């Protein structure tokens, strides 16, 4: 192709983003050329400053541009309830529901003996010390239902055994709006197992 070099370069960088192939990268590159000078400069600067300024909250491990993230520093949130998640993307998902008023703890990974990832490789020790400083805290484990998720859940349960802490996990079951016919066996089994009584 007879692309000018600068366009070629931009296109190849855009292709590093997930789900962007050659065609879309081209389309976005051309769209960027058609942005106003201010907008293009803004986009360019936003990438640099996001990459430079964003780091992990020293309490919960969530993404922040301060020392402590805006959730941990929010006076109105219940510090005694900690939702334990694999990565910071889940924080955004939970925040969007708008119903959770506790705090989070981002593990930044899951225990995976297969991949040689042990408890010391993820952000777990700071969770333990957080829990130890609280009175009767509640931990909600919101880890994915895979071998790694289960291993991590079990490990956390075990290590906090003798501490005064309530531990729960997200419920398993049928996702809202799903067709029962098309559900996989394991989900259906879990939904049956965890069935909820609705009569008196």
Binding-site ranges for a second copy (CB under 8 A): 1-7, 9-10, 13-14, 16-20, 26-33, 35, 37, 39-51, 53-54, 63-65, 69-71, 89, 91-92, 95-96
Q: What minimum distance in Å lies between the beta carbon of 15 and a second copy?
A: 10
H-assigned helices in the chain: 5-14, 22-33, 37-53, 88-97, 125-133, 147-159, 185-193
Q: Looking at beta carbons only, is 63 or 183 nearer to a second copy?
A: 63
Nearest to 122 by CA among 146, 94, 89, 87: 87
Nearest to 86 by CA among 70, 60, 56, 106: 106
If the CB atoms of residues 89 and 164 are measured against a second copy, the closer one turns out to be: 89
Minimum Å gap between C-beta 94 and a second copy is 10
Strand duo 81-85 + 63-64: pairing: unpaired
Nearer to a second copy, 39 or 115 (CB): 39
- CA 192-172-166 angle, 5° bins: 115
Nearest to 137 by CA among 80, 97, 86, 186: 80
Identify which of residues 4 and 177 has a Cβ nearer to a second copy in the complex.
Answer: 4
Of 103 and 153, which has the nearer Cβ to a second copy? 103
By the 8 A CB rule, do 141 and 156 touch?
Answer: yes
* Nearest approach, Cβ of residue 193 and a second copy (Å): 33
Residue 96 C-beta: closest distance to a second copy, Å: 7
User: Least distance in Å: CB of 37 to a second copy?
Assistant: 7
């Amino acid at each position: 192709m007879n692309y000018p070099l600068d366009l070629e370069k931009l296109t190849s960088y855009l292709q590093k983003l997930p789900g962007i192939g050659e065609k879309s990268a081209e389309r976005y590159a051309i769209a960027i050329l058609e942005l106003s000078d201010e907008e293009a400069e803004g986009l360019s600067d936003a990438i640099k400053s996001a990459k430079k300024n964003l780091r992990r909250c020293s309490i919960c491990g969530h993404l922040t541009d301060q020392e402590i993230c805006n959730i941990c520093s929010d006076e109105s949130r219940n510090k005694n309830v900690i939702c334990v998640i694999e990565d910071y993307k889940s924080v955004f998902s939970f925040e969007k529901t708008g119903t959770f008023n506790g705090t989070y703890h981002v593990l930044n990974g899951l225990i995976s003996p297969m991949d040689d990832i042990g408890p010391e490789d993820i952000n777990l020790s700071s969770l333990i010390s957080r829990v130890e400083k609280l009175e009767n805290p509640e931990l909600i484990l919101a880890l994915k239902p895979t071998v790694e998720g289960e291993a991590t859940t079990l490990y956390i349960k075990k290590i906090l055994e003798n501490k005064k802490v309530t531990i729960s996990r997200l419920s398993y079951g049928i996702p809202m709006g799903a067709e029962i016919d098309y559900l996989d066996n394991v989900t259906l089994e879990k939904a049956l197992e965890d069935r909820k009584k609705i009569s008196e």
